[in-house]
Amino acid sequence: MELRKDPITRSWVLAGNNDEAGGPESQCPYCLDESPLTPKIVAPLAPILAIPTSGPSNGVPGAIRVYPHPSPLYTVEGGADRQAEGIYDRMRNLGAHEVIIESPDHYHELSFAPEAEIAALLRCWALRIADLKNDIRLRYVTVFKNRGDLSGQQLRHAHSELAASAFIPRRVLYELRSCKDYYQLKERCVFCDILRQEERQGLRVVDLSPRYLALCPFASRVPFEVWILPRPHHASFEEDLLQRPDDFELASLLRRVLARLEHVAPSYHLVLHTSPNTRARPETSGFWTTLADDYHWHIEIMPITEKRSRSYSIKETYYCPLPPEEAAARLRDLPTSFAGRAQAKLDFPAR
Amino acid sequence: MELRKDPITRSWVLAGNNDEAGGPESQCPYCLDESPLTPKIVAPLAPILAIPTSGPSNGVPGAIRVYPHPSPLYTVEGGADRQAEGIYDRMRNLGAHEVIIESPDHYHELSFAPEAEIAALLRCWALRIADLKNDIRLRYVTVFKNRGDLSGQQLRHAHSELAASAFIPRRVLYELRSCKDYYQLKERCVFCDILRQEERQGLRVVDLSPRYLALCPFASRVPFEVWILPRPHHASFEEDLLQRPDDFELASLLRRVLARLEHVAPSYHLVLHTSPNTRARPETSGFWTTLADDYHWHIEIMPITEKRSRSYSIKETYYCPLPPEEAAARLRDLPTSFAGRAQAKLDFPAR
């Protein structure tokens, strides 16, 4: 496994093979011994971080645990060894790839979890990101979650993933450049301007709380795409969150958004976009000019409602058959309570 | 249907619904009356362009015919009506969307077609692109082809599609910027430099002829990705091709590449990247600075080997499990003759 830079688009591509993770679900290494659903066969692993949660789950104490990914895309040893090959660039897949086990319960669902438990998970994401940003070799750390059969998830046990890399992924790089250009032109953050307009128009708002807003973006790439943003400007998710240890507001909003989405799109990709590592230093020179203050952290959720989106068959242009105003209106009307969803949950094909 | 500009990535997204094309295959409107495979029920359509081809196909004279797309993504009437909505931008889906019927034979395969017939198809692409570039409202014209069940093709009759739009699609825009930056730095075309290095190294070359080269790109996004490029520098596909009416070399190379690919990836997206319309004029001001001379036209083929590529589940970074050197070596070794492939063709699930 190595990283190669596309000389045209200048984005890094992971090349090479890694083993597929997984095995029979009855031997899930992430289920605790006491779980009645999946009897423990495999020896327990040593977690990188474990955070106890309040409520018991399936008779065992709740705990969020972080492990190295069993077939990692990035590894932490050594340097990036960036080198040219004629006009091309390549480097080692330096970084980190971790799995964040969200509960001892194999079939745990965030949309059914108590707010305190989701808040603990968000705190776990923030702690791992903050810790990895101490490594000056790493330029970017993100968390993502694939839910449902159509999302291409590798492990079945309820989990999210963390990826840290020595480069900034291309979409985040475009966002950073765009934020910088917009700030230079207007002296305002583009995401703050989006928030102000969305709050005023109300057309694409899915849910909101005093400090956070969930919306279907104006140029949605897929039906029911949702972004969650903090309403006050903040570039870094982990700094913002760790400053507010008793704040369950984001957890509560996230749970409601996921509960709404499950009615229309049980499979989704969720990605956290936070500022790059401003402490990062490259191998070859003293510093990078990594701008971050004009960035605005947010969560992007891309539901997968079709086996093959037409966005991939109409080449080079996204095509979204459902206008975001309609998507937001439908999502606003869907129930978010536990009671109304017990039956719906059983019918989900994505389980 | 309208176009919306993502304020962050600045790419245009098609929003809104259009009817799905298609119907029972026995009523295919693109089969000619005489076809023994699909009896003619629907009234014949009037083609925009028809090019006779040399050989008969299923008992009827061969002909390539171009029609307006039955459920078009772009329409040609009126202006783009570009307008702001607060910080957002939207415009009408001005443009053209056409289907290019490759043969009277419903089940026609390019990889089995005579070279003269493929040359006529390429000429048809070039003629339609050149014609639409006379429309100064249109900034970009491209041709793409989806083959196989996994490619999301809408119509079953063998066809390619043409899309003309009042904007440059984002990947092409990144390519244009990259070519311009590279030229300013080195005074050389980046694609010409890629060609020189690939010819010298030979590691990723799939096939070649005196004037064209097929290669697996250094930073392939998916296994068996193939680009076909002209070895002499030329920005515009249609100008290059129409200058060489008796040249079957590209047709011959394309047929061989598709024949090789069908053994390993019967489903693929094929996209032609040519220079933007340098005659285009925007509605609001006198001219655009559309650079094109430092561009280098090429064909990109993206095979679909998995139901859901891991590139979409590892967010924001492409992941290609097969190194392009291995992919190129395997493709080089596969047969391209008609004889060796008769049996393999019958087994294709994508038929």
The domain total for chain B is 1
The residue assigned the tokens 């996004």 is: B221
Q: Among A312-326, B284-298, B325-339, whose mean pLDDT is lowest?
A: B284-298
Q: Among B33-37, B107-111, B279-283, whose mean pLDDT is lowest?
A: B33-37
B234 pLDDT tier (thresholds 50, 70, 90): very high
Which is more confident, A53 or B242?
B242
* pLDDT confidence of residue A297: 97
Strand order in the sheet with A298-303: A49-57, A60-68, A95-101, A159-165, A140-147, A268-273, A298-303, A226-230, A212-215, A205-208
| CB-based contact A220 B13, cutoff 8 Å | yes
Q: Which structural domain range is residue A192 located in? A: 2-347
Q: Look up residue B193 and give its amino acid.
A: D
Q: How far does CA A267 lie from the centroid of its chain? A: 14
Residues of B in contact with A151 (CB under 8 A): 308, 313
pLDDT digits (tens, 9 = 90+) for A116-131: 999 999 999 999 999 9
* pLDDT confidence of residue B59: 54
pLDDT digits (tens, 9 = 90+) for B303-322: 988 765 555 556 678 888 89
* pLDDT confidence of residue B110: 93
Q: Are strands B88-92 and B2-5 parallel, antiparallel or unpaired?
A: antiparallel
**B192: alpha, beta or left? (left if phi > 0; alpha if psi -120 to 50):** alpha
- B324 inside 8 A of chain A by CB: yes
Strands (E), B183-339: 205-208, 212-215, 226-230, 268-273, 298-303, 318-320
Interface of A with B in 81-110 (CB under 8 A): 86-88
pLDDT digits (tens, 9 = 90+) for B1-23: 899 998 888 888 888 876 555 55
| CB-based contact B6 A217, cutoff 8 Å | yes
Q: A48 - beta bridge partners?
A: none
Average pLDDT over residues B181-190: 92
SS3 content of chain B, % helix, strand, coil (to 5): 30, 25, 45
Confirm if B334 and B277 have CB atoms less than 8 A apart.
Answer: no
Burial A194-224 (b: 16+ CB within 10 A, else e): bbebbeeeebbbbbbeeebbbbbbbbbbbbb
- Tokens encoding A343: 């039956």
Mean of all residue pLDDT scores within chain B: 84
| CB-based contact B310 A16, cutoff 8 Å | no
Provide the CATH number for the domain around residue B75. 3.30.428.10
How does pLDDT run along chain A (351 residues), one tens digit per residue? 899 998 888 888 888 876 555 556 667 888 875 544 444 544 557 889 998 886 655 555 678 999 999 889 999 988 888 899 999 999 999 999 999 999 988 888 999 899 999 999 999 999 999 999 999 999 999 999 999 877 877 788 999 999 999 999 988 888 998 999 999 999 999 999 999 999 999 999 999 999 999 999 999 988 999 999 999 999 999 999 999 988 899 999 999 999 999 999 889 999 999 999 988 876 655 555 555 788 999 999 999 887 655 555 566 788 888 999 999 999 999 988 765 554 444 333 332
Average pLDDT over residues B241-253: 94
B93 pLDDT tier (thresholds 50, 70, 90): very high
Q: Which of B218, B270, B302, B310 to mutate to test the interface with A (most CBs of A within 10 A)?
A: B218
Distance, in Å, from the CA atom of B294 to the CA atom of A315, rounded to the nearest integer, reads: 23
Confirm if A219 and B15 have CB atoms less than 8 A apart.
Answer: yes
Residues of A in contact with B86 (CB under 8 A): 197, 200-201
| CB-based contact B11 A269, cutoff 8 Å | no
* pLDDT confidence of residue B290: 56
pLDDT digits (tens, 9 = 90+) for B114-171: 999 999 999 999 999 999 999 999 999 999 999 987 787 778 899 999 999 999 998 8
Strands (E), chain A: 2-5, 12-15, 49-57, 60-68, 83-85, 88-92, 95-101, 140-147, 159-165, 205-208, 212-215, 226-230, 268-273, 298-303, 318-320
* pLDDT confidence of residue A301: 96
Q: pTM of whole model > 0.90? A: no
Q: How far does CA A16 lie from the centroid of its chain? A: 24
- The percent of residues in chain A predicted with pLDDT above 70, rounded, is 82
